[in-house]
Amino acid sequence: MLKKLIRESKKLKSVSRLFVDRPNGYDFDLPDNILLFTRGGLSRAAAQGAIHHRHLLNLNLGAPCELLLDGHRFHLETGGMFLIYPYENHLFMHTDEQVFRLMITFEVKRSDILPERRSCAALNEDSARLAFELLRAYRNNAEKWDQTLLLTLLLSRFRQDTQKDAAAPPIPEEGGSLAPRIVRHITNHLDGELGLEHLSKLFHISRSHLRRRFQEETGISLGAYIRRSRITRAMYYLCREERNIGEIAELCGYSSIQAFSRAFRKEAGTTPLAHRAKQIALRKIRMLKS
């Protein structure tokens, strides 16, 4: 079944836009806005980590590879599944031309069907079959509900397998990392002071050493990580209508609406108000279609 899954995966067409239909935000309990694509070969030397609002299920179908996730290094074996949660900074590192990964990215509200963070499970006959059926349904443009059902079953199988294998040793992880502690602080204090001087004093390390260590461990600069994290959180709030723009700016660490709007336009290519209006319009279209 694993060989059939690999053959079917290699038939996928390359995609230029990874976030179609609903670029940010969703309003559906089970997995929705599903997108499948593959990655393989050697990594680009200058590749940087990515941060986004979607879940990303990685199926390692070729040679083993490395994953940097919020400053932690994981070794992903052949035939393994690993789920990346929204807003986690991730970078896959390919050091073997035989690396081949099937990526399933989606949006979901419910957490009870998902495995715990940082958990891994091996593809078995059942999970490989579900992945194969999902892949075939996706390639044949099957009904969205059929794809949702298959992915829900695959995630549920993944969750069950990680629970059964709870006594297994964890995925090897690099110890002594500084970045995870910095990431935790940033995530918990996006509405506060996150300047380089402040962080260097907080973590008792020089500014230059802090910048270098964070870049080495995560694949992204500290400044870029903070900017992306703040704008990503702003997108989350903008997709909902509970807070006004001024409140969102304050929650994301901006001193004024003007500063927030400038940063948002630079990172997202549009204004906060335009982004919110687009999400409201998309929500109305979905309601009409349902």
- pLDDT per residue as tens digits for the range 51-84: 888 899 999 999 888 888 877 778 888 899 999 9
224 to each of 64, 277, 284, how far by Cα in Å?
A: 29, 26, 33
Is the domain of 52 the same as that of 123?
yes
pLDDT score of 46 more than 60? no
pLDDT score of 170 more than 50? no
Is the domain of 152 the same as that of 196?
no
pLDDT score of 172 more than 50? no
User: In which band, very low, low, confident or very high, does the pLDDT at 167 lie, cut at 50, 70 and 90?
Assistant: very low
Q: Strands 65-69 and 72-76: what pairing?
A: antiparallel
Nearest-5° angle of CA 230, CA 215, CA 209? 110
Is the domain of 114 the same as that of 249?
no
pTM above the 0.75 mark?
no
Task: Return all residues near 178 (Cβ < 8 A) that are at least 6 apart.
Answer: 71, 203, 205, 210, 213, 214, 217
Is the domain of 266 the same as that of 232?
yes
Is the domain of 75 the same as that of 133?
yes
Mean pLDDT score, 255-282: 90
Residue 172 burial class via C-beta count within 10 angstroms: exposed 0-12, middle 13-18, buried 19 and up = exposed
- pLDDT per residue as tens digits for the range 260-271: 999 999 988 899
Is the domain of 70 the same as that of 190?
no
Is the domain of 107 the same as that of 189?
no
- pLDDT per residue as tens digits for the range 91-124: 888 878 889 999 999 998 888 889 888 888 889 9
Residue 179 lies in a domain: no
User: What residues make up the domain containing 114?
Assistant: 2-164
Is the domain of 108 the same as that of 229?
no
35 has which bridge partners?
A: 105
Instruction: Return the higher-pLDDT residue of 164 and 83.
Output: 83
290 to each of 28, 150, 155, 165, 278, how far by Cα in Å?
A: 11, 20, 24, 39, 18
Last residue of a domain, one of 135, 164, 193: 164
Residue 117 belongs to domain with CATH number: 2.60.120.280
Is the domain of 15 the same as that of 58?
yes
Is the domain of 51 the same as that of 125?
yes
Residue 237 belongs to domain with CATH number: 1.10.10.60
Number of domains in the chain: 2
Please report, rounded to a whole number, the percentage of residues in the chain having pLDDT higher than 90. 36
Distance CA 132, CA 61 (A): 12
Is the domain of 160 the same as that of 200?
no
pLDDT at res. 173: 45
Backbone region of residue 106 per phi and psi (left: phi > 0; alpha: psi in -120 to 50; beta: other values): beta
pLDDT at res. 26: 42
